[in-house]
Amino acid sequence: MNRRDLLSLLGLGAASLAATARPSTGAPAGRAPFPPVPTPLPVPSDGLDAAGQRRRYARVELEDRLVLPEGYRAEVLAVWGDPVADGRFGFNNDHLSFLALGPDQALLTVNFEYISPRTWREGYTEAVGEAGGGDLPFEALIEALSPAGGRVDASSLAEDDPLLGQIRRVAAAAMADLGVGVIELEREPEGPWRRRPGIFDRRITGLSGWRDPAGRLGVTGPAAAVFRRCARLGYDDGLGEAIIGSFANCAGGETPWGTVLSAEENVQSQVPEAVHADGSSVAPAARPFAWDGQRLDGLGNPFGLAGNKYGWMVEIDPRRPRAAALKHSWLGRFRHEAVAVKAEAGQPLIVYSGCDRHGGHLYRFVSSGTIIDPADPANSGLFAQGRLEVARFDPPAAGTGGEGRGRWLPLEPSTPVDPLTPAHFARFGLEQAVLLPHSDRRQPGAEAFASEAAVAAYRRRFPSLAELYPGEGEEQMGAILIDAHLAACAAGATPGARPEDTVIDPTSGDLLIAFTAGGGSDDGRADPAIFRGPQGQPTWPYGWIMRLADGGPARGGSFRWRMVATGGAPWQGGLGFSNPDNLAVDRRGHLWMTTDRSTRSADLDLFGNNSCWVLPSRGPSAGEAFCFATGPMECELTGPCFDASESTLFLAVQHPGDDHGSRPSLEAREAQSHRLVDRSGRPFEQLRWVPLGSNWPSGVPGRTPRPGVVAIRRLAGGPLLDG
């Protein structure tokens, strides 16, 4: 991806959606707005000629630390186990949201996504302390569940069964480490931000409200009617529209009026995802509790949680620690990852979100009401009524320079059933069944259709969503929203390449989308007509960034799109990073991006540790991509956000040591050999030493790694970037 494409990405060209994409290793980059952090493979922005690249990259050693540019420093603000309100700082922190209360006082909202069983178990006693329940029966429970393959339907056990007591202790401890937290920050005079526990500190966990009804979450929109109904096809948790807790909280975003949106993503690991035609959940037994030392799943099972109450977008007001958090059902239920809010006076509220799965879709919510003042807290009421739409992309036509078009499909009862068919994938040499709502509407979940004839018969039987989701009024609409992913599949939405983040470009108002990987799984497959590699490959595991220019909030409106940055090695046609994930745009228009490449995939080892990149929008380095940070071993850097002066970058270090746990000694490392290509196209061999496991943030061999949040600033003070 060349410099002109990145200028297009950042909205600097006169015709930003019409630039021509020409992947190239290019010439050495211009001056960076900071001293770039070295990467483990040659990249266009390293400033070296071909011979210099061969010398630098012949032998590389990765480091188990947060590597920053020279002249920058990171201070740890909070780590797993630190006390927060009536709970603790949770595990595997993801999205971060900064809210200034004054010049030197602020709130940081933090998502806690999931449990890494190995490091959670290794470090639990140290992080929590025995007085706080650190003596969990890990080994006894593994032994007790071993005859059953490490899993059991705890919801079927009697209340006085000792096994249920053990399961609930472990599951409740894990749920206490999930959800959302708010911590209070204070800045030292002319110095760094520090944590200062205060009245705004708050924890919402996976079990908030289980024992104390006052801690339960609420819901807005049509799903409430489904939760309230007495006659149902599936499971009833007996709580009506009240909801216990929030978990699998991954990405998120902010509203102009100061609230935070937290996305519940991979809830299917903890509760059943499938629902019936009326939107009711299947029984908790469908996702049994599992613990064998390597996996920890089904955490909702011991507590009888209803799966249809998870997978939503949750709104929290960090300034009101006693106000109930709300799940907004008009935004749909799916594996929420991205969220971007567009709020303009005189216009409806628009919210974009993505479903992070192979074949997941891009969605748009448009409110019925309009915004008068974007800063008015009353705007939260706009989430209660509107419509949910899903994107259908059309491939670029010849002569458009890679620009495509598309339209928004409303998810409502009258929407025609018009799915993609297996023949669409077969044109690209792929065998891919199509997942649709089960044709036996007494059965929950999806059914796979592998032939054109079967899909045609399905369409004749179910000509619109109204035939798939029977009922009337809010109950019918609620069922569609609860089953949004499969409803979108039936409507013919474009299966995406794991949309992991969305952000509004403040310069153009366009939407930037990080698609982290193009490929497939049992869940589905990205549309190869849209998500193609630089040479037309139907599978491209390295991801893209897309720019989407929305044509306005009209029902069934249109948009324009183009890919403006491609992951992958430079000699493959990429920029040198893999799997773009979280995005942030600063006030100068510079794009910040973190990566999420799987550390369990040998095919992605080439790219080294996950990293944070800056794509400047102005100055001599405009149009280039520079590595700002690399993370500790086996971690993911997440949630980039800034303080009000943009002199501090907040980053989360998630799941350090995820594969190997704690690193026992400095000798615990492996050698890797990689075949690289220099700027001139000449291949050469690299020897790379890779530590096994992590000790971040302590750096002490043998100490268990702990996820946490850091604040990064320049030692000399001032803005994060030059120019």
- Span 111-131, mean pLDDT? 93
- Span 674-703, mean pLDDT? 97
> What was the pLDDT predicted at 30?
61
> What was the pLDDT predicted at 722?
87
Nearest-CA neighbor of 662 among 716, 705, 605?
705
- Span 58-82, mean pLDDT? 98
Q: What one-character-per-residue DSSP string does 574-625 give? A: S-S---EEEEEE-TT--EEEEE---TT-GGGGGG-S-EEEEE--SSTTTT--
> What was the pLDDT predicted at 24?
39
Residue spans per domain, the chain: 31-76+586-723
Q: Say whether pLDDT at 483 is over 70.
A: yes
At position 509, the amino acid (one-letter code) is: G
Q: Say whether pLDDT at 467 is over 80.
A: yes
Q: Exposure of 185 by Cβ count < 10 A (0-12 exposed, 13-18 middle, 19+ buried)?
A: buried
Q: What percent of the chain has pLDDT over 90?
A: 88
Q: Are 536 and 527 in contact (CB under 8 A)?
A: no
Q: Are 723 and 617 in contact (CB under 8 A)?
A: no
Nearest-CA neighbor of 94 among 261, 277, 280, 318?
261
Q: What is the mean pLDDT of the chain?
A: 93
Q: Say whether pLDDT at 592 is over 70.
A: yes
- Mention every residue, 6+ apart, whose C-beta is less than 8 A from residue 710: 66, 74, 75, 76, 77, 650, 651, 652, 653
The C-alpha angle 608, 609, 614, rounded to 5 degrees, equals 100
> What was the pLDDT predicted at 16?
32
667 or 14: which carries more pLDDT confidence? Answer: 667
Q: Say whether pLDDT at 545 is over 50.
A: yes
In the numeric block, which tokens belong to residue 503?
Answer: 């952000």
pLDDT tens sequence across 9-47 = 444 332 333 222 333 344 555 678 899 999 999 998 898
282 or 24: which carries more pLDDT confidence? Answer: 282
523 or 38: which carries more pLDDT confidence? Answer: 38
> What was the pLDDT predicted at 32?
85
Distance CA 478, CA 330 (A): 8
> What was the pLDDT predicted at 522?
85
pLDDT tens sequence across 393-427 = 999 988 888 999 999 999 999 999 999 999 999 99
Distance CA 378, CA 220 (A): 14
> What was the pLDDT predicted at 181?
98
Q: Say whether pLDDT at 51 is over 60.
A: yes
Residue reference for tokens 């909205």? 11
> What was the pLDDT predicted at 564?
87
Q: Provide Rg for the chain, Cα atoms.
A: 25
> What was the pLDDT predicted at 131?
65
- Span 560-587, mean pLDDT? 94
Task: Report the relative pairing of strands 326-328 and 218-220 from DSSP bridges.
Answer: parallel
